[in-house]
Amino acid sequence: MAYYAIKGGEEAIRNSLNFYNDITSKSSKIDDEDLIDAFTFSIDKVLSEGALYSKKLAARAIKRSAGDLLNASFFLRAHRSSCQRIGICKELDVNDMRLTRRISSAFKDIEGGQLLGASNDYEIKLLVDLKNEKVDIEEYSTKDNVIKSALTPLREDNLIKILPKEQEPWDITRVFPNAPYPRSALLQVMSRGESGSLLGFAYTSMRGYGDVHPTIGDLRIGELDIVFTHPFTKNKVKIGSIEATAVESAGTFNKDSDGQTRLTTGFGFCFGKNETKAISISIIDLTLYNDSYTVGTEQIVASDFEMMMHHVDGIESFGFANHYKLPHYVTFQTDYQVFKSASKYVKEEDIKGAKK
């Protein structure tokens, strides 16, 4: 079997794209605002993994991909790479978040109380219409609903392990670091990582390849203001706000480097309403930076910095897996010819041996 170069595929590709546009054309008729309002969690998943905070562009990406959320994230990330950067915003403090939801499983009574917000955690997951009784919903203003983390009292009493602070956060969109990886780079990679991948790695630490069984010290969803230095006036100006999820998971009390016993914690942060993703990030962060979490094997999957830096990005994983659909004729034919030659050689040697 010989290899032949094939020409004339351009027309077939155009036809394939036209066919794809035909079967997905109805999605373009959905209004952006309707999609944003009706599928808020899908929007938040895409803008988080696409690493571009724009609900309108996330809606367009979902329509373009006909609901394939990983593909939609790919569209959004690709668009992001074409956008011009004009500056860097001021660092965000999640304690300044105007909260719409805030819970803690580590403490029963916390400042500001448990704020359940909108969640279906307490719903029976059945595809039937359940009767919801009318209840009185307590009204509150997110403007005044700014509460510090539930772990703040412990932090103020110097009971929480503090990791060394970097002089300046790393920017993975400009230069991807070599090992040893800064924590800021790891958190950025995970913040825009694929939710399922992060959950899978975090689960390995909970399920047997590690001994992490944290509690949620503080889980919060809310709005954060984006403050930017004006390029002309040099004044600090608010240019907008984002919705985000932040989680501090509490581990165990371990002896710190200075001999004091302190609580180990992990932190997770991402765009939009993404609780499971933020929890997963916090668990992996907890695993990476605490050597005591090493039960089960010498090489814990979720405590491997190399593994986390290079295997949680959904866009890279998606692209690499799908590139195998592209022509690999030469690669396969090479393997096939090697196999045929080896088989022929073995048969010839068997015949020679039989004659002797």
Cα–Cα distance measured from residue 157 to residue 151, given in angstroms and rounded to the nearest whole number: 10
DSSP 60-73: HHHHHTTT-HHHHH
Cα–Cα distance measured from residue 221 to residue 241, given in angstroms and rounded to the nearest whole number: 13
Cα–Cα distance measured from residue 256 to residue 282, given in angstroms and rounded to the nearest whole number: 19
Nearest to 66 by CA among 12, 22, 15: 22
pLDDT for position 294: 53
pLDDT for position 147: 94
pLDDT for position 205: 86
Tokens of 37: 């309002």
CB of 254 closer than 8 Å to CB of 262: yes
Cα–Cα distance measured from residue 265 to residue 213, given in angstroms and rounded to the nearest whole number: 11
Residue recorded with tokens 């895409």: 46
pLDDT for position 299: 65
Cα–Cα distance measured from residue 313 to residue 198, given in angstroms and rounded to the nearest whole number: 9
pLDDT for position 356: 65
Tokens of 4: 């032949």
Tokens of 32: 């952006």
Please give the average pLDDT of every successive group of 10 residues along the chain, which has 356 residues.
55 91 92 96 98 97 96 96 89 95 94 91 83 69 83 95 91 93 97 97 83 90 94 90 97 86 95 98 92 60 91 94 88 92 89 76
| Collapsed DSSP state (helix, strand, coil) of residue 21 | helix
State in Å, rounded, how far the first CA of the chain is from the last one: 33
Tokens of 91: 């660092």
In degrees, rounded to 5, the angle at the alpha carbon of residue 151 between the alpha carbons of residues 184 and 305 is 30
Cα–Cα distance measured from residue 90 to residue 95, given in angstroms and rounded to the nearest whole number: 15
Cα–Cα distance measured from residue 218 to residue 9, given in angstroms and rounded to the nearest whole number: 55
Run of H or E including 256: none
Tokens of 106: 């580590």
Residue 310: C-alpha distances to residues 37, 278, 304, 305 (Å) = 34, 18, 10, 9
Q: Tell me the whole-structure pTM to 2 decimals.
A: 0.90
Residue 180: C-alpha distances to residues 61, 186, 306, 309 (Å) = 35, 10, 9, 11
CB of 61 closer than 8 Å to CB of 44: no
pLDDT for position 140: 66
In degrees, rounded to 5, the angle at the alpha carbon of residue 221 between the alpha carbons of residues 200 and 274 is 25
- Helices within 9-138 (DSSP H only): 9-23, 32-38, 40-49, 55-64, 69-81
Q: 169: which residues sit within 8 A by CB, 6+ positions away? A: 91, 182, 184
Mark residue 87 as left, alpha or beta (left: phi above 0; alpha: psi -120 to 50; beta: remaining). Answer: left
**Torsion, CA 329, CA 332, CA 335, CA 340, rounded to 10:** -80
